[in-house]
Amino acid sequence: MPLATSKTFWMVEYENELDLLAIVEVTHREDGGKAHVRLHDNNTGALLKRVPLVESWDVTYSYNLFFDRDTILYIEQIKNNNFCCHVYKIISRGQADE
């Protein structure tokens, strides 16, 4: 039997130099949460890229998201006031084929 899931939008960040919105979308499942960062054009709302995050997303923790042209960084405050920093380098499909 499939696990029950639900989706929520966890945070929205705006990058003024790129005029992009980053939206963290979290899929909640019984076995944990999975997140994606969705990058949208601020003028049209068009989805430009969807980046799956490898780490599970625990909604009870605190998160900060930062992004620039080719980098997504998020900081997660976990148990006992410890922090984890996760860095993602975005590559285009053309670069991935090289």
Residue 3 pLDDT: 53
> 64: domain range?
5-97
Residue 41 pLDDT: 95
What is the layout of strands, in order, in the sheet containing 83-89? 62-67, 71-77, 83-89
Domain count along the chain: 1
Q: The whole model's pTM is what?
A: 0.76
Phi then psi for residue 38, to 5 deg, are -105, 125
Residue 22 pLDDT: 92
Residue 47 pLDDT: 95
Q: Which residues of the chain have pLDDT under 70?
A: 1-5, 31, 93-98
Residue 59 pLDDT: 78
